[in-house]
Amino acid sequence: MNQADVSRLVSKLKINVLPKHRRLTNPDGPKGRMFRMQKTVTALFKHERLEVTRNTADEARGYAERLISEAIRYGDKHNATMELADFWLLEKQLVHKLFKVLVPRFENYNISYTRCLPLTPTYPCTKTDQFPKSLLELRGNPYPPVMPKDPHNGSLLHNILLEEARKEMRQTQYLETAKSIGKEDKSAWVVNEKAEDSGSSSEDERKKD
C-alpha cells in the first residue's frame, strides 16, 4: 500500500508524533496511564488551555489532534468517529462542542489545531515543580495570547519595568563613577599640597643657610 492509499484511511496530522508513546509512570499501570490521557484531553476540550507537565502535554496533544482531525474529516454521522469521541471525552457534553464549535473553527486551518509552549520553572522549586511544565491550548481560544505579537512594544508592562530597571542601574553606575572620580581628584589634591609644603619648607631652609 503506497502513501496515497494510507492517507485515504488515516488523515495526516499537522504535528510530529513519536512512533511510540511516552512511558508516563502511573501506579495503576497502562490503564491508569490511559485514564490520565483521557482526563487531560477532556480538560483541554473543556477549558481550551492547560498547564501540565511537558511529557503529558506532548502525549495528550497527539490524541487531541487525531480526534479533531477525524471529526473534521468524517463528521458526527460516522460511527467510528463518534466512538472515538465517546472514548476520549469523559464529559459527554463536550462531544457536542467538538462537532458544533471546534470543527467549524478548525475546518479551514492549514496549521495544527493545538499549541504547546514550554514554561519557565518557578522559584523556589517544590516537589511538584521538579518536572518541566508546558502550556497546552487549543488555537482560537478566548483567552489573551500567551506570546505577544510585538514583544518589543514599549507600552507592555514587562518592557516598562525593564526600562525603569535599566535607568536605575545606569544612575547607580553614574553615581559610583562620580564618587570614584571625586576620590581620585581629592587624593591628587592632597599629593599636590604635600609637594608644595615640602617645596616651601626646603626654600626656607636654604634662605636661612
pLDDT at 139: 94
pLDDT at 72: 93
pLDDT at 106: 95
Kindly state the DSSP code that residue 168 receives in the 8-state scheme: H
d(CA 191, CA 197): 10
Mean pLDDT of the chain: 82
3-138 carries CATH number 1.10.1060.10: no
What SS3 class is residue 146?
Answer: coil
Sign of CA dihedral 144, 150, 151, 154: negative
pLDDT at 19: 76
pLDDT in tens, 89-113: 999 999 999 999 999 999 999 999 9
- Taking the domains of the chain in order of start, what are their residue ranges? 3-138, 148-209
Would you call 88 exposed, middle or buried from its count of C-beta atoms within 10 A (0-12, 13-18, 19+)? buried
d(CA 176, CA 158): 27
d(CA 68, CA 102): 8
Q: Choose the weakest-confidence range: 87-101, 123-137, 138-152.
A: 123-137
pLDDT in tens, 33-64: 899 999 999 999 999 999 998 989 999 999 99
More confident residue, 163 or 94: 94
Q: Which single residue is written with the C-alpha cell 470543527?
A: 103
| Residue 174 in this model has a pLDDT that exceeds 70 | yes
pLDDT at 30: 83
pLDDT at 43: 96
What SS3 class is residue 149?
Answer: coil
pTM: 0.66
Percent of the chain with pLDDT over 70: 77
d(CA 73, CA 71): 6
Q: 134 and 117 in contact (C-beta within 8 Å)?
A: yes
Of 101, 35, 39, 38, give the one whose Cα is nearest residue 68: 101
